[in-house]
Amino acid sequence: MAKRDFKLLMLGLLFGAMIGTLLGQVLTFLLPDDSAVKVFFLTSFFEFPFAWMDGDGTKVLDLGMFAINFGLVLRFNVCSIIGFSIAYYLLKYFR
C-alpha cells in the first residue's frame, strides 16, 4: 500500500467509516435492547470532538430567528473497526 495515492487512501477510510456506520445501524434494529451483544458492538470506546468546538462537539451559530449547529465528532466502536478492516482488505487486494 506504499504506492497508493493519498486521495485513494482517504476515500478508502471514508468508505470504511460508512461501512461501519451502516453495520452499526443494521445491528441497532436487529439486536434486542439492553443485550450484551448490542452494548459491545455499539458502545463508543473513543470519542474525539474537535478542539474548536465545545464539549459535546457542536458549534452553534445563533442568528435570532434560527440557529445552526455545526459539529464533527469522531466516535470509534467495534463496528467502525470492522468497517475500517473491510476497507483495508478492499484497498489491499483489489486495484
Q: Model confidence over 42-92: pLDDT tens digits? A: 887 777 766 555 556 567 777 888 877 777 777 788 888 888 888 888 888
Question: How many Cβ atoms sit within 10 Å of the Cβ of residue 17?
Answer: 16
Structural domain includes residue 8: no
Name 71's Cβ contacts closer than 8 Å, sequence gap at least 6.
49, 53, 56, 57, 58, 59
Predicted pLDDT of residue 34: 84
Name 52's Cβ contacts closer than 8 Å, sequence gap at least 6.
59
C-alpha cell at 15: 468508505
**pTM of the shown model:** 0.66
Between CA 3 and CA 83 the distance in angstroms is 22
Structural domain includes residue 35: yes
Predicted pLDDT of residue 50: 65
Between CA 78 and CA 10 the distance in angstroms is 20
Count of the separate structural domains present in the chain: 1
Structural domain includes residue 56: no
Name the residue range of residue 24's domain: 16-48+68-95
Structural domain includes residue 61: no
